[in-house]
Amino acid sequence: MLKVSIIGLGNIGAKFDNLKNVSRSHLDAVLKCNLNPIALIDKSNNNFNLIKKKFKIKKDIFNQPNKIKKKIYSDILVVSTSPINRYKTIKNISNKIKSDFLIIEKPISASLNDAKLLIRYLSKSKKKALVNYQRNWDKKTLTFLKKVKKKKIELINVIYSKGFLNNASHYLYEILKICGKINYKSLKIYSYTKTPYKNFSFFIKIGGIPVNFISSKFDKNKIEYQELSIHCNDSVFELKSGGVLKRETFMKKNEIYKGYNFLNTKSKNYHVGPLNSLVNLYKEVKQIILKKKKYDSKILILSLEILKLNEALEKYAKNKKI
């Protein structure tokens, strides 16, 4: 049984409740995959009793990072702390928890320079790592996006709330996978807000395809809104409500205006339901460790590209005084 250590026991680490029997926290997914949690670490001990009771944990495996006395040997180290100073966090905890495979919550870091230092450290110490962009392990989303790849993409729109790195990065990751490289010369920002989250509304070309990121105004009302629409030559693919609904709308001949088409009001819903990704992530990591599947570091490269764009957006906003 593979051993797992988790540092950071907040919502995604351990506190999120399941939705329709779908794991929404790392600890729940670890237990569902029959992995062995041997260390649950957090700066604060406030959540220890709550988590112990919730998951019926009887073993004394809770600790604070500065109170770890003996070196811990773990097959997997999960890092679900704040992305700020992620390199320092991982380097410090790696002195106390020895592990050759890391699962890192997105974004990989809060800054591009810190992420570069981290990836250099991972490479030098020969550690493998995956960044948890959840849709990358949701089978329904992957099947949906495979259909998109077969089409001629003409335009992409993303509407999001609660921060570019926090939420919009999920969709940017998928767009980079499908479309390719970012053309930074095409970047144009329409608006920028710093509070309560850093949100950018902007236009950019990725792989030659025009992409709009639009920051919604729902943050003030504490409404989370996420939507991706991919406009192809003969249909529109949509991920609604963060991917809960996956839909394709087809072109249809217009019987009134001859020679024209319109989007059919009837659409095909591929899937309605919560993302089911965390368990699949751990299954993949297990296969990689047991050498049943090849490790691909591409996710680290794309994670860097996301931070590179974030840095470009911040510089653009500052220079243009948006």
Superfamily, domain 139-274+308-319: Dihydrodipicolinate Reductase; domain 2 (3.30.360.10)
Please state the φ and ψ torsions of residue 37, each to the nearest 5 degrees. Answer: -70, 120
Contact predicate 80/8, CB 8 Å? yes
Closest to 106 measured CA to CA, from 307, 315, 316: 307
Domain ranges within the chain, ordered by starting residue:
3-133+278-291, 139-274+308-319
Give alpha helix (H) positions in 38-166: 48-54, 86-94, 112-124, 139-149
Fold for the domain defined by 3-133+278-291: Rossmann fold (3.40.50)
pLDDT of res. 240: 86
Closest to 173 measured CA to CA, from 236, 124, 130, 221: 130
pLDDT of res. 271: 60
Which stretches in the chain have pLDDT values below 70?
219-222, 265-274, 321-322
| 165: its two tokens | 């790195």
pLDDT of res. 322: 56
Contact predicate 4/38, CB 8 Å? yes
pLDDT of res. 109: 97
Please state the φ and ψ torsions of residue 320, each to the nearest 5 degrees. Answer: -85, -5
Contact predicate 229/245, CB 8 Å? no
- pTM (two decimals): 0.92
Find out whether the peptide bond into 274 is cis, omega within 30 degrees of 0.
no
Bridge pairing between strands 227-232 and 235-240: antiparallel
Neighbours of 251 (CB within 10 A): 14
pLDDT of res. 17: 86
Side-chain half-sphere exposure of 111, counting CA atoms within 13 A: 9
Edge-first strand listing for the sheet containing 36-41: 62-63, 36-41, 3-7, 76-79, 101-105, 128-132
Q: What percent of the chain has pLDDT over 90?
A: 73
